[in-house]
Amino acid sequence: MNELYPVFLKVHELNILLVGGGAVATEKLQFLLKSSPKAHVTVVSKAFSLDFLEIASQTDTVTLIEDAYDEKYLGGKHLVIAATDDKTVNEQIQRESKERFLLVNVADTPELCDFFLGGIVTKGNLKIAISTNGKSPTTAKRLRQFLEDVLPEEIDELLENLHAYRETLKGDFEYKVKAMNDLTEALVKRV
């Protein structure tokens, strides 16, 4: 049973700590920046791969600290991602994050995660998150690719038009909901 509660975080307004600088950390950073190019990420690692450095250099919102993990780096953070190649260090990061009531993701260890970085489809203002409850990231990736292919590029124009229409509606909340439901009903009718 999937008991995850999906949320969309304004990570450009939060402080994220990413620990690690290898292949897994590169994937996590790439995912964060693809979804939120202005995400504030502090990265702590003893060393950084060339791929990691290339991705980090594409924005000024990523701060690199060449050092071993220390709990002092948790200060002022909202989210923590442990992506080192050392299981003991990852478990330490998880434990110390939980002691501070910080949300933590431990790469490739679903049982130690408060949240997952699932598949995300973005078409302009439309963003769809996909989760397999940590069971199959590959399936989430394939579903993301499928949705990217089938959702029309014009979907953003539709969203903008619906927003403009919604702004013209007068009346109470119930009236506005009914008007928007009536207008968008055709979007979900099966052919």
User: What digits encode the pLDDT tens for the residues 40-96?
Assistant: 999 999 999 999 999 999 999 999 999 999 999 999 999 999 999 999 999 999 999
With contact defined as beta carbons under 8 Å apart, do 28 and 107 qualify? yes
169, two tokens: 């509606």
With contact defined as beta carbons under 8 Å apart, do 117 and 34 qualify? no
* Mean pLDDT for all residues in the chain: 92
- Is residue 112 classed as helix, strand or coil in its secondary structure? helix
Q: How far apart are CA 134 and CA 21, in angstroms?
A: 22
CB atoms within 10 A of CB 60: 8
Strand pairing category for 62-66 and 119-123: unpaired
96 vs 152 pLDDT, higher one: 96
CB atoms within 10 A of CB 133: 13
Residue 42, strand partner residues: 17, 63
Average pLDDT over residues 24-34: 95
Average pLDDT over residues 12-29: 97
166, two tokens: 């919604």
Model confidence band, residue 134 (pLDDT cutoffs 50, 70, 90): confident
The pTM of the whole model exceeds 0.95: no
Indicate if the pLDDT at residue 141 is higher than 90: no
Model confidence band, residue 191 (pLDDT cutoffs 50, 70, 90): very low
Q: Which CATH superfamily is domain 11-116 in?
A: NAD(P)-binding Rossmann-like Domain (3.40.50.720)
Q: How far apart are CA 116 and CA 106, in angstroms?
A: 9
Active site residues: 108
Q: What is the pLDDT of residue 136?
A: 83
43, two tokens: 């990265």
